[in-house]
Every structure is written in structure tokens, then in C-alpha cells.
Structure 1
């Protein structure tokens, strides 16, 4: 018979003495690790830029990549770069930061666009209007779903649920002018009074 109380006491003593080396993972970290690793439990390669098609569960377009700027010890904070291969944003490079809460998947990650972009669904502070990051989030969804949603925002921006109301109005009323504004912004120019950094 295993003496569970003795095992617990030993673990507490090791922790108090600083000899315990095993970091306890939160449920969110365990789920995120599952989202990021392959189906046959191979470890995730944590190079600075990992192609998402090579990560098993993250079966995404070749136009997306993931990086871990804080290294392999911080899986809960990472960046995703999207390079749309069609639509208004063709040729642009857009980076998003992901902060995954310890209670993931019961709460969605906090996602911000680090690239200043002229977009109806992304405001100038980088906030993203994507329903699955808010009211439509469910624990069965995962990082893969979010990245596909972000990619979809670039291939089919939605003027009906805007964060940038000016960009949404232009897209709705004058798609040709919207396309011109997007090109100008991505090239590093002004749209109205706002200067956008080059992202092509």
C-alpha cells in the first residue's frame, strides 16, 4: 500500500527546502501544450519561428507562423505572424501577441495585433473584434480556431462588426477606396491623419 501522506509530506519538505525542481503546470498550460503538440505526443520544437503546419494539432496555412519570444519556459505567451496570400492585405505581415490565461480553455486567450493596421475589425491600439475571443468562446475551441479566425479577418474583413468605424464605412461604401487605403497604410503612408508603419 502506498502511503500517500508520506509522499505529500516529502513533496512539501522538498518544496520548502527549495529542492523540488518540478514546476506544477496549470490546467491552462496542460491544455495549451495539448493544442500545440502533435497527436503522437512528440515534443513541440520551440525554435523562434515554427511553421504551424509542422505542429500537428496546429494545422494552419503556410502563411502563418508562431514564435515564443520568452523561450520554451513560457508557452503561455507567444506570437503569431500572418502573411495573407489573398485579398486586400495580400503581401502584408501582421503579428499578434497571445496571452493564455491559467484557466484556458474556460477563458479565451487575450489577443492583440502588434502591427498597426488599417482594418475594420482591428483598432489602432491593436484590439481585435473576433466573436470567438468574446461572447462565442467555448472550451472546445482552441488556438488553431483563433488563428484561423484571425487569418479570415484578413481575407474577408467584416464591416458589420467594426472596431475601426471609419475603415468599416469605407469598406461598405467604397471598396475601391478601401483597397487603396489598405495599400497606402501597408506601404507606410498616411490614411487620414494616421501614419501607418510599413508592413509589406
Structure 2
């Protein structure tokens, strides 16, 4: 009679043991991370601030900025707060030629998976920017994708001034004037930038 070898049973898989091993690995990783931080701070200096993925990506974006001469970026809070900065745009053509418009940027720690929050700090008579500074720009809303960057957003804002769009308005009154009477729209823009009233709204000089 031939001797048959018993087949070895495959090792049983235990979900609880898998979780236990995973938990142990995470704890080990945290211990190593803590040891690394302690080693970095062993010189007695201030603790090293860990950068979020959003900060790391923003550093890359800023280092690769390629802006037109009419746009500039500044960091009012200094190098310790790069996630909040300002961009000034001075259009060199179109209705808003010669005006200077300031925008604030707030960048999320999960950037670029979330678009930066952008507001116009300069009160402007514009179909795509309301009187509170909210901006209607598709890439800041439904068309945002992680492959886009700060450079793209700034060019998009610049484009709003060279080609304002009455079909997707935030300031419906300005949009209607641009659509129906471009000459009057141009006059209103110049009056607003020079410092004066358009209708019931006063605009500070920005030219």
C-alpha cells in the first residue's frame, strides 16, 4: 500500500491577528518618527515644524511660478506662513488697463486636492467679481483638478480682467451693462477705478 503524504493545510488567516500586526507596525512607525523629531531637535533649538503635503506642494508651485510682469506675489505674514499670500494684478490691456487689483489666497493643508480660496480685496466694478470680493472663476470651483496650480489660478484671474464674461456673472448689473452697452460699461469701469460712484456703490481709486 502506497503511503500518501498528508497535504499541509494553508496557514489560517486571522483578521484580528492582521489588525494586530498592522497596529504594531503603525506604533513602530510612530516611535521611529518621534525618535527622528527628537534627534532633529537635540541641538536645543525650536521644534522643527512638520510641513503638510499642501505646504510641500505649494513650495514647489511657488518655485516654478512664471507670471507676466503685470502680476506679483507677496507674503505679508513672512516665510512662516506661506499658505496665506497676496497677488496683485495690473492689467496692461482691456477695460481695466492701468488699475491695480489685490487678491488674497488661502491655501488648504490638503492642497492641491482642494482649490485655494481666493478673494478680491480691491472693490471692483466687474461682472465676475461681486462687491464683497467673491470671484467667479470655474477653475476655483467645479473645474478644479489637482494637476492645476497657483500659476494657473493667477493667469485665470488675469484673464478675467482682459476678457470679462457677462454669461457667468456674480455682479448681474455689471454683466447686463457689458452685454447691452459696452461703451457704458467701459465708462463705469473708468469711473470706478478713478474713485467714484457707479449707481449707489462707491469705489476707491485703484489707478
Secondary structure in 2 matching 1:178: helix
1:1-200 correspondence to structure 2 within 5 Å: 7-11=32-36, 21-37=47-63, 57-200=64-207
CA distance in 1, matches of 2:67, 2:30: 46
Residue 20 of structure 1 deviates from its aligned partner by 6.2
1:191: Cα distance to partner?
A: 0.2
Identify the range of structure 1 (5-14 vs 158-167) with the bigger mean alpha-carbon deviation: 5-14
What is the CA distance between 1:60 and its match in structure 2?
1.3
Structure 2 residue runs of 5 or longer lacking an equivalent are 1-27
- In proportion to residue count, which structure has more helix? 2
Q: Secondary structure at the match of 2:151?
A: helix
Contact in 2 for aligned 1:11/1:20 (Cα 8 Å): no
Unmatched runs of 5 consecutive residues or more in structure 1: 38-56
- TM superposition shift of 1:22: 1.3
User: Do the aligned partners of 1:14 and 1:20 also contact (CA within 8 Å) in 2?
Assistant: no
Larger Rg: 2
Paired with 2:124 and 2:38, the residues of 1 have a C-alpha distance of 52
Report how many residues are paired.
Answer: 179
> How far off its partner does 1:193 sit?
0.2
Question: CA-atom RMSD, angstroms?
Answer: 2.2
- TM-score normalised per structure 1: 0.84
CA distance in 2, matches of 1:76, 1:116: 23
Residue 6 (structure 1) shift: 6.1
